[in-house]
Amino acid sequence: MAEKKRHHTVPECYLDGFSEGDYSNAFFKQQYKVVKHINIANLCVESRFYEVNEKYLVKGKEKLDIEDKFFSMGIEPIFKHSISLIEKVIDDMLSRELELAKVNLTLNVRRAIAYLILIQYYRTPRFRALFDNKSAKVKQPYTNKKGELVESIDVPVLLHAFHSFTNKELMKELSYELAKGYWILRYSPNGNLFTSDNPVIVYNNISEERNLFTIAKMGDPHSIVFFPINHFILLEIFSIEGFPEKAEFNNYIFSVDKSYEDLINGYTFLNGEKTIISYTGDFGILFPQITLEII
């Protein structure tokens, strides 16, 4: 099979929830430009982003394929299935014409979903940038495929992977913390929830008093995790320690109005690095008094 050169940092199976067919609408923050009806295959893509240099591959072992074997074949099918389960819960609520419903998300189900959310949180260029111009000693020197002795790693690709989504201890600890929090699902009948190239939002609630949006660190007890499931559904996760008042809403689904949708879309815009994605293409709610270039 030919090697993929274009790597998605946000999977297409997720972007499907913000598209019609294969097409969606995108606002590019750096160019301040809206592109209508853009193929999702061209969104959140980086050239060879997860490719590992041959220098760091162990002699006698098969190639470390992060893009295909870890993400495309391993994680993304499970991610797609988990999203579909949440969508079915919402569909059931709508079929019964309920504005409020309770769902049974067991701890094991929560841990699986939390694990997938964490992988998406860590796999992006924003987190990769933390490892630029860094190096780390390997626990045990090894001989690479070229017969060279490798004692340290100085490539962001591997440092990124080893310190985040392939770090089993970190993922286990954080997924457990997320899973035991208070989970609230929001349904927007308007269907205009945005997403971005950083779709997992970790918002610092302390800054709310100052009316500021501050990106927080995953695991901070004073933060809220927002994750748009698709353009209709939002998942919110509150820590038990930081938000005891949310206990009564744990495992509930609420319908929300346009003002709440606009608030979350504002967070999505601020959290996005380069690209904001919208099913409807109605970015005017963010810039009601500014004319954007639309192509």
**Amino acid of residue 197:** D
Of 23, 19, 11, 31, the closest CA to residue 292 belongs to 31
pLDDT in tens, 43-59: 999 998 998 887 787 77
pLDDT given for residue 65 in this prediction = 75
Q: Does residue 185 contact residue 256 with C-beta atoms inside 8 Å?
A: no
> pTM (2 decimals)?
0.87
What is the signed CA dihedral for 15, 18, 20, 21, rounded to 10 degrees? 10
| 3-state class (DSSP) for residue 112 | helix
Q: Does residue 277 contact residue 194 with C-beta atoms inside 8 Å?
A: yes
Of 271, 277, 259, the closest CA to residue 17 belongs to 277
pLDDT given for residue 85 in this prediction = 74
pLDDT given for residue 144 in this prediction = 84
pLDDT given for residue 25 in this prediction = 96
Kindly give the parts of the chain with pLDDT less than 50.
Answer: 1, 207, 289-290, 292, 294-295
Q: Which two tokens stand for residue 238?
A: 């509150």
Q: How far is CA 275 from CA 42, 53, 120, 177, 195, in A?
A: 11, 28, 16, 29, 9
pLDDT given for residue 234 in this prediction = 95
Q: How far apart are CA 35 and CA 205, in angstroms?
A: 33
Q: Does residue 43 contact residue 277 with C-beta atoms inside 8 Å?
A: yes
Residue 210, exposed/middle/buried by CB under 10 A (0-12, 13-18, 19+)? exposed
Q: Does residue 135 contact residue 41 with C-beta atoms inside 8 Å?
A: no
Residue 21 region by backbone torsions, left for phi larger than 0, else alpha for psi between -120 and 50, else beta: left
